[in-house]
Amino acid sequence: MTPKHPDIIVALTGHDGNAFTVLGRCCQAAREAGLSEDEIAAFMAEATSGDYDHLLQTAMRWFEVV
């Protein structure tokens, strides 16, 4: 499955895997790629609407996670 923003690469492997770190890395990559604050807020709302597994699945649906 191709992510919504395949050109935005988020490095999660080899880093602290807590939810705040995952969210922070995703938001930082999104901002650096020029996504609007509205779109970042939409990602945050979706990513935080479930458990940790849902957060990771959402990150993978939105970005290229490596």
Annotate the chain with three-state secondary structure: CCCCEEEEEECCCCCCCCHHHHHHHHHHHHHHCCCCHHHHHHHHHHHCCCCHHHHHHHHHHHEEEC
* d(C-alpha 33, C-alpha 62), whole Å: 13
User: Would the pTM count as exceeding 0.85?
Assistant: yes
Please say whether the beta carbons of 61 and 1 come within 8 A.
yes
pLDDT of residue 1: 80
Read off the pLDDT band of 45 (50, 70, 90).
Answer: very high
The mean pLDDT of 5-17, rounded to a whole number, is: 89
pLDDT of residue 14: 78
